[in-house]
Amino acid sequence: MFFVFYHSMTHTKCYAYSPIRYRHFERELYNDPEVIDMNSLGEKIKYRKLLKSLSVADVARESGESISYIYAIEAGQKGSNLQNLAKIARVLGLLTEELWPEG
């Protein structure tokens, strides 16, 4: 199993073959503000899921939402109402305000 990242600055795919390398790489990747827009709701959810070692299925099951709904939010294809977002934030160990996109 390996993890694939797309580095937006260099337009290249980056790979990590172990969770340890993955965590080291994601710390570097996500500490670079040019690489990822952390203001995006979907990206915040993906990042927090990564930090807590949760799958989409874990988040969906514990929040009571469907897997396809979580995927759609992550992909930016769907928004979320405050009630659903509060459930997702709780699963991720965040306050709802930390996920709510600035507007």
pLDDT confidence of residue 68: 93
pLDDT digits (tens, 9 = 90+) for 1-26: 445 555 555 555 555 444 444 444 55
The predicted pLDDT at position 103 comes to 45
State if pTM tops 0.85.
no
Predicted pLDDT of residue 87: 94
The C-alpha atoms of residue 92 and residue 3 are separated, in whole angstroms, by: 21
Q: What is the CATH number of the domain that holds 72?
A: 1.10.260.40
Q: Structural domain of residue 80, as residue ranges?
A: 41-99
Are 58 and 95 members of one domain? yes
Residues 87, 56 within the same domain: yes
* 67 and 82 in a common domain: yes
User: pLDDT (tens digit, 9 = 90+) per residue, 31-75?
Assistant: 444 444 445 788 889 888 988 899 999 999 999 999 999 998 888
Give residue 67's pLDDT.
94
User: Are 57 and 80 members of one domain?
Assistant: yes
Asked if residue 45 and residue 25 are part of one domain, the reply reads: no
